[in-house]
Amino acid sequence: MLKCICRSGVLVAASSLSVFPTYSYSQGGLGALYTVVVPTGDFGSANFARHLVSSLASVRAFCGDLDNSAYQVDCLAERFSAVSDSIPEGTDYDEVRALLNSASQDMAKLARNNRDWDLPRGQAAREGGAAERTTRPLTPVSAEVQEAVNRQAIFILEEVQTQLLRSASGSQSRYAQYAQIAQAIDSSKVLLRS
């Protein structure tokens, strides 16, 4: 088994894992799983929007703790997929789910197309109290193109933010929630710029 111990208790390890439950999501390092029911009627739920914002902040924290930045783009792709999968289908957040899923696929493809063949693929896991792991091995990006790949990943995330804010322009409550979600996505862009 490959182990690359990274700062803040995150490691990259080649092994297989199970997928996160569809309607539950691990809260940033606390190890608590909970289910959120999204009500019908008015747009969404402020509590669920906070859950999404917290989940997206956890994405940035988890991927930011990787010791080798070559894995960060695919880590973000994998974590955005996990957040997308945690959003129940048939809710007011279907658009958020679709946009996060699309961004995840685009960034994963970007990492695959620019793979560093000298580094192994591996899973990232947070050691300690809250065992958080990627659902698949991460693909490292070649150092020669990493800056360009990061710029392309930032562009993908900016497109998600733009689409979220444009689609919410007709509803004040939707706009407020989508603006919070877009701001949380912005923290992942900061990671790619550093």
Asked if the model's pLDDT at residue 6 lies above 50, the reply is no
- What's the pLDDT tens digit per position in 124-140? 888 765 678 899 999 99
Tokens linked to 103? 């961004």
* pLDDT at residue 129, as a whole number: 56
* pLDDT at residue 130, as a whole number: 65
- What's the pLDDT tens digit per position in 46-55? 888 899 999 9
What count of other Cβ atoms lies within 10 Å of the Cβ of residue 105?
Answer: 15
The confidence band for 71, taking pLDDT boundaries of 50, 70 and 90, is very high
List beta partners, residue 138: 122
User: Domain limits of the chain?
Assistant: 3-189
* pLDDT at residue 11, as a whole number: 39
Q: Residue 31 in contact with residue 129, Cβ under 8 Å?
A: yes
pTM above 0.75, yes or no: yes
Q: Which has the closest alpha carbon to 103: 125, 85, 76, 126?
A: 76
Q: Residue 134 in contact with residue 107, Cβ under 8 Å?
A: no
Cα dihedral sign, 110-112-113-116: positive
